[in-house]
Amino acid sequence: MAKSSARSSGRRRADAVRTTMPGQSAHEDEPGEEDEGGNGLRARKKLRTRRELRRAATRLYAERGAAHVTVQDICAEVGISPRTFFNYFESKDDAVFGLDHRLRERVVSGLLARPAAEAPLPALREAILAAVPAVVASDTEFARRRALLHTEPELLDRPLRNNRRMEEAVTAALAHRTGAAPGDLYPHLVAATGLAAMRAALRGWEPRSGAEGLTAALEQAFALLAAGLPVPPAGPARVPAP
C-alpha cells in the first residue's frame, strides 16, 4: 500500500510539473510509444505505423540525404497518406528525431518518484539510469540517426531543441523537489550537469553493446562527476566519433 501511494504521489507530481512545461508542441503532449492508446487492436496498429514511419524516414535520410526526402516519400514507403502522417509527426525531421518526449517523460516521472530525502543529483542519476537504457537501447535506428548528425550537421536544430526541452523539464522537476524557484541557479545547474553526463555517455556508447553497455557508460559518467572529474591515469578517455 505504501509503495502504491508513493507511485501515485510521484505520478501526481509529474502531472503537476508537466502542465507547467514551456515550449511544447501539440505532438509533444502525446503519450510515449509504449503508452499510445492502450493494448487494443487500434492502439497496436497506431504504434506499428509510428515505428514504420520512423524507420522509413531515418533510412531514407541516410540513403538520400535529408534535403532529398519529402513527407510524400516517407508515406509511400509505409503506404499511408500525408494527412495521416501529420497525425503522428509534425514534420519529416520530427519523424527522424522525435523520440525525446518518451525519454523526457520517463526521466521526469522517475525523478519525481525518487525518495524526498535523496540528494538531487543522485536522484537524477537514478532516474536517468532507469529510463535511458530502456528507451535508447531499444531504438534500432539510434546508430544511423547519430551518424546522420555527423554527416549533416544542419540537422542538429531538432536534437538541440529536444535537449533544451529536456533540460527545462528536468529543471522544473528539480525545482519542485527542492522548493527552489524555477529561475534559481541550483535546479538549472543540477539539470545541466546530470544531462551533460547523460549526453557524454550516449556519445561514447556503442549501440552493439546494448542496454548493459549503455548502463555501464552512464554509471561511469556519473562516477567521474561524483569524484570531481579527475584525469584518468592513462590520460583523457577517448570518445568515439559518431
Question: At 78, which CATH number?
Answer: 1.10.357.10
Is the confidence at residue 14, as pLDDT, over 70? no
Q: Does residue 2 fall inside a structural domain?
A: no
Q: Does residue 232 fall inside a structural domain?
A: no
Q: Model's pTM, two decimal places? A: 0.78
Predicted local confidence at residue 40, as pLDDT? 86
Q: What is the domain extent for residue 203?
A: 9-226
Q: Does residue 234 fall inside a structural domain?
A: no
Answer with the residue of higher pLDDT: 234 or 42: 42
Q: Does residue 180 fall inside a structural domain?
A: yes
* pLDDT band of 13, cuts 50, 70, 90: low
Answer with the residue of higher pLDDT: 223 or 14: 223
Give per-residue pLDDT as tens, 183-234. Answer: 899 999 999 999 999 999 999 999 999 999 999 999 999 999 999 999 988 7
Is the confidence at residue 32, as pLDDT, over 60? no
Is the confidence at residue 20, as pLDDT, over 50? no
CA dist 212 to 36, 136, 137, 139, Å?
Answer: 26, 11, 9, 14
Q: Does residue 237 fall inside a structural domain?
A: no
Q: Does residue 242 fall inside a structural domain?
A: no
Alpha carbon distance, N-terminus to C-terminus of the chain: 46
Domain count across the chain: 1
State how far the Cα of 93 lies from the Cα of 141, in Å rounded to an integer. Answer: 14
Chain-wide mean pLDDT for the chain? 85
Q: Which of 5-14, 55-64, 74-83 has the lowest mean pLDDT?
A: 5-14
Predicted local confidence at residue 100, as pLDDT? 64
* pLDDT band of 24, cuts 50, 70, 90: very low
Answer with the residue of higher pLDDT: 73 or 36: 73
Q: Does residue 29 fall inside a structural domain?
A: yes
For residue 133, the one-letter residue type is P
Instruction: Assign 3-class secondary structure to the chain.
Output: CHHHHHHHHHHHHHHHHHCCCCCCCHHHHCCCHHHCCCCCHHHHHHHHHHHHHHHHHHHHHHHHCHHHCCHHHHHHHHCCCHHHHCCCCCCHHHHHHCCHHHHHHHHHHHHHHCCCCCCHHHHHHHHHHHHHHHHHCCCCCHHHHHHHHHHCHHHHHHHHHHHHHHHHHHHHHHHHHHCCCCCCHHHHHHHHHHHHHHHHHHHHCCHHHHHHHHHHHHHHHHHHHHCCCCCCCCCCCCCCCC
Q: Does residue 101 fall inside a structural domain?
A: yes
